[in-house]
Amino acid sequence: MRNDVHIKDGERIDDLHRKGYTIIQDPKRFCFGIDAVILSGFARVKKGETVLDLGTGTGILPILLEGRTMGEHFTGLEIQPDSAEMAQRSVALNGLEEKIDIIIGDIKTASQQFGASIFDVVTCNPPYMHAGGGLQNPSDAKAIARHEILCTLEDVVREAAKVLRPKGRFYMVHRPQRLADMICLLRQYRLEPKRLRFVHSYIDKAPSMVLIEACRGSKPMLQVQSPLIIYRAPNEYTDEIYEIYYGEGQA
């Protein structure tokens, strides 16, 4: 870890428990959650592949995926300049400038910014909630991360489909309540759902998240995997979650 990267007042450095990597976070803005971590464990990135993370925020997904896969290069797209600048400093903090780019830009125009059919993999941990619904400050970083203020689910799916190469793969984590919307939009933009996994806080609770993999231009065939359970007891992760956080990752 480099020690010449500036850490601003109110920021903290968190350990990612992988290859010695750390990340800069500002609790007043937005800190990554377990959804980003489990998405990094669900996404499959093969040796030599290129990855685009839409709405990268703190840069957590590119950093985790670089640490756990053999991907060639990772790009994070973020519309909020302050968040992008912080993510860039996290990349520098880990000495990953040659492997990870953090780019300021809008998900809605990602295909114009990067071009068509150029990435092997696209990931996204999008805003889960519709805009409105009593939002107090629509320009607040936390509100933007959680609500569809600056982009919609359709924007994410449409642009992922455009920037992916044929047979390229799209990975997303979302809420089960939006699953019908997700599948309809994926098929509308010729991203065929291939793998689906529900995430439960406890084994006897309803799912709180859903992970999905879709492939551009693939034939229909959906594999529903066994549920991913986060906790075996309060504040005690299951073995699989522990492995996602602390394991060696993909070969």
CATH number at residue 224: 3.40.50.150
pLDDT, residue 144, reads 43
Task: Look up residue 105 and give its two tokens.
Answer: 């830009």
Identify whether the C-beta of residue 36 lies closer than 8 Å to the C-beta of residue 64.
yes
Backbone angles phi, psi at 77, to 5 degrees: -105, 125
Q: Is residue 208 part of a domain?
A: yes
pLDDT, residue 30, reads 80
pLDDT, residue 141, reads 53
Name the pTM for this structure: 0.91
What are 62-71's pLDDT values in tens digits? 999 999 999 9
Residue 62, SS3 per DSSP: helix
Domain total of the chain: 1
Q: Is residue 7 part of a domain?
A: no
Cβ atoms within 10 Å, residue 15: 10
Identify whether the C-beta of residue 150 lies closer than 8 Å to the C-beta of residue 129.
no
Q: Is residue 180 part of a domain?
A: yes
Domain that holds residue 142: 12-246
Cβ atoms within 10 Å, residue 23: 23
DSSP tally for the chain: helices H, then strands E: 8, 15
Q: Is residue 116 part of a domain?
A: yes
Q: Is residue 2 part of a domain?
A: no
Cβ atoms within 10 Å, residue 83: 24
- CA–CA distance, 187 with 214 (Å, rounded to integer): 9
Q: Is residue 55 part of a domain?
A: yes
- CA–CA distance, 249 with 251 (Å, rounded to integer): 7
Q: Is residue 50 part of a domain?
A: yes
Q: Is residue 149 part of a domain?
A: yes
* pLDDT < 70 stretches in the chain: 1, 128-150, 248-251
